[in-house]
Amino acid sequence: MKVYVRKTGEYKEVVQYGSDTLKFLYGNAFGRILLRLAISKLPSKIYGMRKASKRSAKDVPSFIADHGIDMTQFEEREFESFTDFFTRKFKEGVRPIGDGLVSPADSKLLVYPADNDTRINVKGREYFLSEITGRNMDEYKGGLVLVFRLCIDDGHRYCFPAKGTVIEQYDIKGKLHTVSPLSQAYKIYKENSRKVSFLDTEEFGKLCYIEVGAILVGKIVDHGKKVFEKGEEKGYFEPGGSTIIVIVPEGVAVDNDIMEESSKGIETEVKYGERIGQKC
């Protein structure tokens, strides 16, 4: 699949990590039997324990090489495990915080309108916002739904997109599911474990911020901050790909290039702290 790169104005091909395995799990009856086991929390916990073991550190060099990860962007140190590598921190100053509304993470962004029925379309499937958040979302009619998909080779730390305070926060438990586009035949987001936060921001009003767990990711680590600055780290995901959804009210405009690509169903590559929109 291709994504739009803002810096160059060009497109690049992105390979979906583990695509053959996911096609098998979602693409035939036997695979779906195994999927029922894979999405339970016990396999996820076992996977997490293995990735947190010291033995898993030996997998790091080949993973970096296979995925072409630029490690000059991250802290220079020895990693004690694959999880330690996966949750690596950026070097200070490599992710400057832009003006306006900023991206919460290194990710691939698609924007959807919060239409009259307050639902979004994800890869041909419709989702009511209330299914994702577990509550009525009529207050966001006329706003936008920003879906940030983190790939396996992205840094998995994420930040607040604006300055403000947390006014409400709750967890929704569910079966862990992949957030890969390959799982488009299933209603994935409402079945995933997720953390929902409502943020009262100084510049953009009330935002809804959702962290979504994925298959083989049993843990969303939230730092529990109640008062925050724009670009301040909110938390991180442990191993696996995952997604952040930010719902903004009417009156917030996402940058034109991102909107243009989203209208074509093409994701835009964005970085942690990069400007993506403004108040209008």
The residues annotated with a catalytic role in the active site are 106, 242
CB contact at 8 A, 54 and 81 = yes
Alpha-carbon span 9 to 169, nearest angstrom: 37
Give SS3 for 100: coil
Give SS3 for 144: strand
CA distances from 228 to 37, 164, 195, 225 (A): 39, 6, 17, 7
Which residues are CB-contacts of 146 (< 8 A; sequence separation ≥ 6)? 109, 110, 111, 245, 246, 247, 248, 254, 276
Residue written as tokens 């690049």?
12
CA 82 vs. chain centroid, Å, equals 19
- Classify residue 40 by its DSSP letter: S
Alpha-carbon span 53 to 80, nearest angstrom: 8
CB contact at 8 A, 261 and 268 = yes
